[in-house]
Amino acid sequence: MEIQAPKGTKDMPPQDAYKWHYVEGVLRDVSKSYGVREIRTPMFEHTELFLRGVGETTDIVQKEMYTFNDKGDRSITLKPEGTAPTVRAFIENRLFNEAQPTKLYYIIPCFRYENVQKGRLRQFHQYGVEVFGSKEASIDAEVISLAMESLKKLGLKSLSLNINNLGCPKCRPKYNEALKRYLEENYDNLCGICKTRFEKNPMRILDCKEKSCNEITKHAPIILDYICEECDSHFTEVKNYLDALKIQYKVDPGIVRGLDYYTKTIFEILNDDFTVCGGGRYDKLIEEIGGPEMPAVGFGLGLERLIMTLEKEGIEIPNEGLVDLYIGARGEAAKTSAFVLANKLRAIGIKTEINHMGRSIKAEMKYANKIGSAFTTILGDDELQNKTLKLKRMSDGEQFEVSLDNIEEIAKLVK
């Protein structure tokens, strides 16, 4: 019986890998332009990190985490998101002692036990940016700008930005009480999970995907009507900075995001009506996980969904090509010379391929065309004796004669 990949996982064959290389390259380049450095964290963490960081009342913790006990009977979880592990690493490596702000990005695999559908897998990949140490509204706007710039650089045009403010520990209790009073009338019609959220974290009910809960919360109180003066002032500053950057946005009081750690600014970026990116401020998470009191803001986006969106929009992802030069050979001496020449060219960055399958000359040229080689050449006794090569450019058939010993000239022609 054929063994297949587990449900919710997906292979990345070579013909798709170039798309990922390109997209990741753009994301890395934009990150660097904003002074953001890469961080890498383990694939799994102690489960407690996500209970404390993501929140016990979230869908991720209640329904989706891959959690198991290791051989030492420790509870371990494959990371379902990137923020909590990055905060843990920030604290453990004492990066808070460095000059602030600390700007970090990551490109990681994540794991969530979800209903598998198009663009949503159980193992998926996430690009995220986390900025620690600044409470200024300017950093919120900069993080949003970075996200928007990344998506624009990839070619997405129909982008819209929705923002909201979730308040802070000072003003949120007042809102929670108002929300609970509103929900009490329909408590019996809430789903089972939302009933457990009612006391612990009623705001999570606003993020429920159940249709019955959506109907109940449709006319729920709006948190913007309850935020304190400090949160209101911060939100105004964020909007002013976005206006200064000419980034258009809509204030959407319905955004709550799916994680408990958010405070103040939250945002989502949509392409048409499809959410491709989301994030916000989380000023208490570093302290909650055991670090110093320090503000933070960030975002994450799923790479599978992003690439799917690029393809849906008809945006062509550049393919740099597999091979610059294919070297065919006739005779044993030529085979050895082709083998040596190929390795010399590879050493200076020329993607070179030779015949490893005993193909005829005609079959070699078909193969060179199939793998998309930009140039081809045939090395035989005459070429060895004259120390020359005839390079054929496959796009138009034009030929160039070069010295067999002039590696630099060969490289210059085929690159």
* Bridge partners for 142 per DSSP: none
Check residue 115 and give its pLDDT: 80
* Bridge partners for 390 per DSSP: 401
| 276 plus 353 within the same structural domain | no
In a domain, 3, yes or no: no
Binding positions for L-histidine are 81-83, 112, 126, 130, 257, 261-262
| 191 plus 214 within the same structural domain | yes
Domain boundary among 259, 281, 312: 312
When the pLDDT of each residue in the chain is averaged and rounded to a whole number, the result is 92
In a domain, 335, yes or no: yes
| 194 plus 235 within the same structural domain | no
CA distance 222 to 256: 11
Binding positions are 81-83, 112, 126, 130, 257, 261-262
| 72 plus 138 within the same structural domain | yes
Which residues in the chain land under pLDDT 70? 56-59, 119, 257-260
Check residue 257 and give its pLDDT: 65
Domain holding 247: CATH number? 3.30.930.10
Confidence (pTM): 0.88
> What percent of the chain is helix, strand and coil (3-state, nearest 5)?
40, 20, 35
Contact 144, 38 (CB under 8 A): no
Check residue 126 and give its pLDDT: 97
Contact 358, 57 (CB under 8 A): no
Check residue 246 and give its pLDDT: 97
CA distance 33 to 147: 12
Helices (H) and strands (E) in the chain, counts: 15, 16
Check residue 258 and give its pLDDT: 56
Q: Kindly report whether the peptide bond that precedes residue 253 is cis, defined as omega within 30 degrees of 0.
A: no
Phi, psi of 186 (to 5 degrees): -115, 20
| 262 plus 189 within the same structural domain | no
* Domains of the chain: total: 3
CA distance 146 to 204: 28
| 74 plus 20 within the same structural domain | yes
Q: Which residue, among 270, 271, 297, has the nearest Cα to 283 in the 3D structure?
A: 297
Check residue 198 and give its pLDDT: 84
Q: pLDDT for 195-242, tens place per residue? A: 888 887 888 888 787 888 888 888 889 999 999 999 999 999 999 999
Domain holding 388: CATH number? 3.40.50.800
What is the distance of C-alpha 267 from the center of its chain? Answer: 16
Structural domain of residue 358, as residue ranges? 325-414
Check residue 9 and give its pLDDT: 92
| 199 plus 300 within the same structural domain | no
Check residue 166 and give its pLDDT: 92
| 111 plus 162 within the same structural domain | yes
